Structure 1
Amino acid sequence: MRLWQDPQFVFGVATSAFQIEGAVDIDGKVESIWDTFCRRDGAIADAGDGRVACEHYRRWEQDFDLIASLGVDAYRFSIAWPRIISDVDGRVNQQGLMFYRQLLEGLAERGVKAYVTLYHWDLPQFLQDQGGWLNRDTALAFRHYAQVAASELGDLVQSWCTLNEPWCSAVLGHWFGVHAPGIQDRAAALQAAHHLLLAHGMALDALRKNAPQAQHGIVLNLSPYYSAAETPGDQAAAEFAALENNHWYLQALLQGRYPQKVWDYYDRFRPAICPGDMEIISQPLDYLGINYYSCQRVLACEPTDVDWPPYKVQEPASNVPVTAMGWEICPSGLTDLLQQLHREYRLPPLLITENGMASDDQLFDGAVVDDQRLTYLQQHLSALERAMESGVNVRGYFAWSLMDNFEWAEGYRKRFGLVYVDYDSQERTLKRSGQWLQQRLLERKQRGVV
């Protein structure tokens, strides 16, 4: 595969702060909306929380040795906003900055590039108390946080990401209510989405001023939307689903507008937009990150309520391979998605910033044989290769995730890691999929590709 031969192509693994760090109230860290959400009855499938997680806060050196042993070029991780900013007045927690500087220095010592995400869903609770992403001032608070992080840590960061998956923060957090802060309101979801994108644009300016040597971008979760049947109604439904879930974010970021069909359909829920907002949102990107897990198959339907869309997503057929999350394994969808975006937009360079699957992994005799995940990774890397051969400019690939962790509303029931974590002992075991990736990457280095 050509991407294994390209010395400029970046291979990495990814995590996020709340999912692995633990230490939620240590060294000046304040509460996030996920700390609060985890205390809500029934919010987390196994009643878990992030208080311990993978104990990365104190085991990071061991974890970084493991990362280095994989032979990856880069590590993508997030900074916890509530570990850096302590109150609504923007007071900086120096202990939090020291922790992340320690991490960045540890990566540099091991020759691993740092790809840092500023927001992976853990909004400080003190900002939620002021309205959270429904309050325009939260975008200003995010700009301040970005300025602090970039000015204090930017000399050790190769790539900054403003937001991870704003769709999840807006839709899962404010419409479906299954993620923090647990709001169920369509108008709130659209307003939150706009303020998230506005925060991204405001943060870009702060990042570029304080860390001009780095790359700056955003990460979206995207899927191809296929019609479940070749009928005009289902095809129109699939088009609308793609506009609502993909292009609402893509058109805003790349073209400075929201899709007209979606804007018209949700006319009574339209977000408040101030003059100049779309210009702030659509500033040029150094890269666009794409998180890809599965495809979606869509049926047309008559909505039972005005705040619901005119489609529904079909469950995978019984003969279709799925992950432990119930998501269809659809490697060809990655090729289709990338080629479609390449045709429709003038794109910056792309990164596949997350790709992976949940599997029912078990530790037996000191080993985890996760052949389904190994095959998944191989198939998706081949799908990525096909897209690149057709002209799509992809510069890197990050496997999700480095290790099993707190999987948000699923708690600890779903395992996405290349590394198995025993949550009782915190012992780490490299799974067969991780061993395969390690072998390929070390062979690549031995050939002098990097």
Structure 2
Amino acid sequence: MTDRFSLFPPDFVWGAATSAYQIEGSPLADGAGPSNWHLFCRQPGAIDNGDTGDVACDHYRRYADDVRLMKRLGLQAYRFSVSWSRIFPEGRGKLNPKGLAFYQRLVEALNEAGIEPYLTLYHWDLPAALDDLGGWVNRDCAAWFADYAHVLMRELGGEVKHWITLNEPWVAVDGGYVHGVHAPGHASLAEAPHAAHNLLRGHALAVQAFRADGEGQIGLVVNLEPKYTASDKAEDKAAAARAHAYMNRQFLDPVLLGSYPEELAEIYGSHWPRFDEADMKLLREPFDFLGINYYTRSVNRADPQALPVGASPVRQPGATYTEMDWEVFPSGLQETLEWVKRRYGDIPLYVTENGAAMADPPPEDGRLQDDDRIDYFRTHLLAARAAMEEGVDLRGYFAWSLLDNFEWSCGYAKRFGLVHVDRATQVRTPKASAHFYSEVIATRGAVLRS
């Protein structure tokens, strides 16, 4: 019965995603070094309510319970990131065996539970010691990243078969180096293109390290969103085109087509560097899959005050918005997946993040009804399926996020989780959306038809 009505193939991968700083807590435990986010959270006014990731979801101590929870929900895969400064407290040099042991225990628990680990090497938390040396603006950071990656591949390669180099390098650069709202808190158009380029160099060098000593597959994760124009005015169309190049093409054109979008020279102006041929050749290092994080679209109008692209989003009358003030626009996921196929070819794809922060009520008697999030997942999964029907090679879907967690500059005010986390007690309560997602997995999407 299930097979007849299923929408997704038997080998489609169903998972959920998190990141280290957002859930682990205990950031300095067992010899770990501070990250740039550990320090950034201590800057006055940087984070809503002065929140930090010092406790987060206490996953560092509760990981075994969380793995059991994943198994009860029926997850087939778990995408998580590693804290670089747990492995190398100074970012390089002496290895911290206790930090490595935590991830060895986590991976072992996942494999014993039949949950496939998808390991992300970098989800924005750079060792503070490397940030002191210039962070991603320093060309050497790419090599330091590859060295760190190589150690993890050597130590965990027998247990982890799916590796991701970078998560959303656009956010790391735009938030951390352009607008200063993420760690390291810089606002410098002069630094930003160098940070972006060195992130991609680090990705390529890590892929080379994987080819030398890794097992399985390795990929890159980017966040994408369609860029619509607010009107037929030439200036609005040009603004949307710049926004598209800046967000959607800046980190894909170099690694898949061998060149940066021409619009970046206009966006960065005199700060746009010239990159040598050897670097551009390095960026073309082949990798195995592309992960796409999708949340929304943006409708753009020209705005000379909105640096760096001269475009600002326009709120749409009558549209539904999440607590992040992001428009709920499920057809944009299909559009994005199909755009990637058209522009870059038949690359194996995963939706590596998709979800919504909603105004959840508190749990009552162990239950939390979040119908708006259920509707979000239902409509976006149907959009993903529609893209597959158009020939997109989509291999899996990871809901963001497993747990209500530390949402970067928003602190704990925004809840994306399938599972509610009580900040005071750390009690986990699966929401109605978690049970719905379990049904989706169990029926391979047949429940989406109802």
Which TM-score band (shorter chain)? over 0.9
1:286 Cα deviation (Å)? 0.4
| TM-score, L = length of structure 1 | 0.95
CA, structure 1 residues 416+304, in 2 after alignment: closer, same or farther (shift >3 Å)? closer
**For residue 179 of structure 2, what is the amino acid of its counterpart?**
F
Q: Which residue of 1 aligns with 2:334?
A: 335
User: Distance between the aligned counterparts of 2:181 and 2:328, measured in 1?
Assistant: 23
Q: Aligned ranges for residues 44-443 of structure 1 at < 5 Å?
A: 44-87=47-90, 89-211=92-214, 213-271=215-273, 273-301=275-303, 303-304=304-305, 308-314=308-314, 316-362=315-361, 363-443=363-443
1:361 Cα deviation (Å)? 1.1
CA, structure 1 residues 2+345, in 2 after alignment: closer, same or farther (shift >3 Å)? farther
User: Distance between the aligned counterparts of 1:442 and 1:207, measured in 2?
Assistant: 33
1:49 Cα deviation (Å)? 0.5
- Secondary structure of the residue aligned to 2:40 is helix
| TM-score, L = length of structure 2 | 0.95
The unaligned stretches of length 5 or more in structure 2 are: none
**For residue 224 of structure 2, what is the amino acid of its counterpart?**
L
* Alignment check: 8 A CA contact 1:119 1:163 kept: yes
1:267 Cα deviation (Å)? 3.4
CA, structure 1 residues 319+86, in 2 after alignment: closer, same or farther (shift >3 Å)? same
| Residues 196-219 of structure 1, C-alpha deviations (whole Å, 9 max, x = no match) | 1111001111122221x3110110
Identity across aligned pairs (percent)? 45
* Alignment check: 8 A CA contact 1:2 1:385 kept: no
* Alignment check: 8 A CA contact 1:90 1:141 kept: no
* Number of corresponding residues: 443
| Residues 49-76 of structure 1, C-alpha deviations (whole Å, 9 max, x = no match) | 0111101011011100010111121100
**For residue 442 of structure 1, what is the amino acid of its counterpart?**
A
CA, structure 1 residues 304+377, in 2 after alignment: closer, same or farther (shift >3 Å)? closer
1:275 Cα deviation (Å)? 3.8
| Residues 7-52 of structure 1, C-alpha deviations (whole Å, 9 max, x = no match) | 1211100000100000111111100000000000000011110111
* Alignment check: 8 A CA contact 2:47 2:409 kept: yes
Which of 3, 9, 20 is 2:23 aligned to? 20
The unaligned stretches of length 5 or more in structure 1 are: none
User: Distance between the aligned counterparts of 2:91 and 2:159, measured in 1?
Assistant: 27
CA, structure 1 residues 135+372, in 2 after alignment: closer, same or farther (shift >3 Å)? same
**For residue 245 of structure 1, what is the amino acid of its counterpart?**
M
**For residue 59 of structure 1, what is the amino acid of its counterpart?**
R
Bigger Cα displacement from structure 2, 223-232 vs 16-25: 223-232
| Residues 246-302 of structure 1, C-alpha deviations (whole Å, 9 max, x = no match) | 11111011011101122244231113634411111121120000000000101123x
- Secondary structure of the residue aligned to 2:14 is strand
1:238 Cα deviation (Å)? 1.3
**For residue 380 of structure 1, what is the amino acid of its counterpart?**
H
**For residue 379 of structure 1, what is the amino acid of its counterpart?**
T
* Alignment check: 8 A CA contact 2:35 2:128 kept: yes
**For residue 352 of structure 2, what is the amino acid of its counterpart?**
T
1:145 Cα deviation (Å)? 0.2
CA, structure 1 residues 111+137, in 2 after alignment: closer, same or farther (shift >3 Å)? same
The two structures, once aligned, show a CA RMSD in angstroms of: 1.8
**For residue 225 of structure 1, what is the amino acid of its counterpart?**
K
Bigger Cα displacement from structure 2, 8-17 vs 343-352: 343-352
User: Distance between the aligned counterparts of 2:36 and 2:102, measured in 1?
Assistant: 21
CA, structure 1 residues 4+210, in 2 after alignment: closer, same or farther (shift >3 Å)? farther
1:89 Cα deviation (Å)? 4.4
Bigger Cα displacement from structure 2, 157-166 vs 269-278: 269-278
User: Distance between the aligned counterparts of 2:347 and 2:438, measured in 1?
Assistant: 29
* Alignment check: 8 A CA contact 1:3 1:385 kept: no
User: Distance between the aligned counterparts of 1:334 and 1:326, measured in 2?
Assistant: 17
Bigger Cα displacement from structure 2, 138-147 vs 2-11: 2-11
